[in-house]
A and B are shown apart, each in its own frame.
Chain A
């Protein structure tokens, strides 16, 4: 038996207490802070759900073509979306798609600057690495409880939980991508008098872009892996269907919803991957 060094019960209680204090005093302001995100999400969701199905499919086809310059890929992507509609999950699929887009967008807005800071400041990197480890390995339920307490049930905590889980690969790959930029090229830009901003936007980010795209790809994949868990705290969509399937032991419902999630995953993966590939081909070094 390991000796008791201090009262863990007290520790637990004090953590509970501080969360309670945070919730009682600041829950309202936290919720107010998140209103803009919620508004964007709701707007996007209504747009996707309100638009005719063929318009959405056409939109996805155009985006795929823009990313890959391949009609075959964009045909395949349209077929995947059509499949989601065909198995009767169009509405849920659009809800999940909206959540994914907002979560991915916010991840990019957070992840890329953090990655840049990590690449620029070694001390910041040393702090961030264990933080990223915690974000990726901590079971999500552990932070879902306080997040729900602070933000209430619904879409916002779902977005937060998704971002916490999904943003680390983007941060890591942005950091890595910038660090892998050829030191000679960077030195050349310094020798011609480029300032920090010119180095960052002219050299480091463009050259790190293939890695950053791989990061965005990973982020979308991980975000999709969170949809079922997110549905437990009130996000509607495909995850909720899976959850209902589990609760009612309806294997068919669960399986179809699961397949729809896979279809969305393939959609996101292929589009971001082909975009990344095209970017790295464009700047391939001999």
Chain B
């Protein structure tokens, strides 16, 4: 799947999934609270619960196809796995798991390093599942409006809104330029590919400046006065749903306490 298609598909699910009409406050509260508990949990059990909960919600209730979810997870998981291998091999103190003697130094792999590596992996996977739950069930408009209501500084929210919209415009432009370069053999050979990439990036940068200029003009022509106003018609959060999320969070925190001594090794 090309990258732009993956992005567009994420967007499509966000608008059509069965949770699309649920209050964004509910969804954001669930995803963000579970995410924070997951990354701050000292026990490896809690991230597993969070991952399972978010995944079941996504696959069963939001009806996201399994293969699509796995596709999405695959990219960050590969990166994460590489980092965790480094952590396992080179981090930690205390009790050694094994030692490899080289003539000039002794390489020690620590038990605590392995534990840290596994814990990191689980925490991040738990957090990823929460983020994916949010982006796959909640349209970006809903997220922006909720952030604004939560008093996140306006300049950040408005910048994010414009960036979001024009990412898609520029992915398209970049793909077209890339194809045009390929057709004129700009990708034959490593040096030429690097040069083509440099030209493309430079060009794209200038395009973004021009686009910004034109968009501002167009916004001015419709009475823009420095404030982006949006139509707010999100459904209100259901009290039962909010209560359910709070109970879930309390269970997570309790689970974290009860499983404090569960070690990886």
Indicate whether A and B interact. Answer: no
* Interfacial residues, chain A to chain B (CB-CB below 8 A): none
Binding site for A on B (CB under 8 A): none
